[in-house]
Amino acid sequence: MEPFLEPYQYHFLKSQGLKLVNAQISSTDTNVIKAVRGIVEDSILYQFQHCAKEERQLVERMNAVKDEREVEQILTELHPFIIPFQATEEQIQKLFPKVKKLKVPDLDFMNTKQITYLTWWDPGTHKKFIVTVREGKQWGVYGTFQKAAQKGICSICGRHEKTGLFLVERKGKEIGTYKKKGNYICSDGEACNQNLTRLDKLDEFLARLSR
Ligand SMILES: [Zn+2]
């Protein structure tokens, strides 16, 4: 079987497994556990509805986990089926034609099976870069980043985390004018990628910046 899991789907499966385990730890009411199991089953079915039968059978094992050890066991078995984040240095450079002397992180030294989007701080340009691949198309944005004093909701993963304000400058309607667009996102890109179990917020974030 070929790899078929996006990194965020892998994290999604983990979150569903843990949700079911937690229900069994925190409740003795079989109806409650049954209800949670129903929700988990539906969510997994919906997420993988377009997958082949054998692929679905693999991920649906998460519907029957009883403890954390079983969740980990299934995750270990699923790991070879994750599609790693792929982009060459050249491709990334091309996403930012106006940026000179851009230093792209070396993907060989990164855990690319955990990454839905690649992000890094470039000390040369004092900018934060974000690169992702959506439906076969590569996206790249960069902007300033100012860490916030307090935790807040990240507009990419939706979790309450240490965040900062990511601001992108865009040309205004009048020639020579600029406007800034942005939002609060996780300061720690690795943690944010771990939190990602769905893509709607990431897509919204990118769409808003490209408008
Ligand atoms: Zn985040």
The pLDDT tens digits of the residues spanning 118-150 come to 999 988 889 999 999 988 889 999 999 999 999
Task: State the distance from the centre of ligand 1 to the C-alpha of 112, rounded, in angstroms.
Answer: 17
CA of 207 to the centre of ligand 1 (A): 17
Q: How much distance in Å is there from the Cα of 205 to the middle of ligand 1?
A: 11
CA of 28 to the centre of ligand 1 (A): 34
Task: Give the Å distance between the CA of 12 and the centre of ligand 1.
Answer: 14
High-pLDDT (> 90) share of the chain, %:
80
pTM reported for the whole predicted model: 0.91
Residue 2's pLDDT is what? 95
Are 188 and 161 a contacting pair, CB within 8 Å? yes
* 203 CA from centroid of ligand 1 (Å): 13
How far apart CA 12 and CA 199 sit, in angstroms, is 11
* Model pLDDT, residue 101: 85
Question: What residues have CB less than 8 Å from 116, skipping those under 6 apart?
Answer: 6, 7, 8, 85, 132, 193, 196, 199, 202
Domain residue limits, the chain: 7-81, 89-210
Q: 52 CA to middle of ligand 1, Å?
A: 31
Q: On the CB side of 119, how many CA atoms lie within 13 Å of its CA?
A: 22
Burial 66-81 (b: 16+ CB within 10 A, else e): eeeebbeebbeebeeb
149 CA distance to ligand 1 centroid (A)?
16
Helix (H), strand (E), coil (C) string for 17-77 = HHHHHHHHHHCCCHHHHHHHHHHHHHHHHHHCCCCCHHHHHHHHHHHHCCCHHHHHHHHHH
pLDDT digits (tens, 9 = 90+) for 91-109: 999 999 989 888 899 999 8
Q: What's the 167 CA to ligand 1 centre distance in angstroms?
A: 15
Share of the chain above pLDDT 70, in %: 100
pLDDT of 185 > 90? The answer is yes
Ligand 1 geometric centre to CA of 53 (Å)? 32
Q: Average the pLDDT over 45-72 and give the result.
A: 96
115/161 Cα distance (integer angstroms): 18
Q: Which residues surround ligand 1, an ion (CB under 5 A)?
A: 154, 156-157, 186, 192
**Model confidence at 82, in pLDDT bands (50, 70, 90)?**
very high
For 8-18, give one letter per residue: b (16+ CB within 10 A) or e.
bbbbbbbbbbe
CB-count exposure of residue 182 (10 Å: 0-12, 13-18, 19+): buried
Tens digits of residue pLDDT in 20-32: 999 999 999 999 9
Banded pLDDT at 210 (limits 50, 70, 90):
confident
- What is the CATH code for 7-81? 1.20.1280
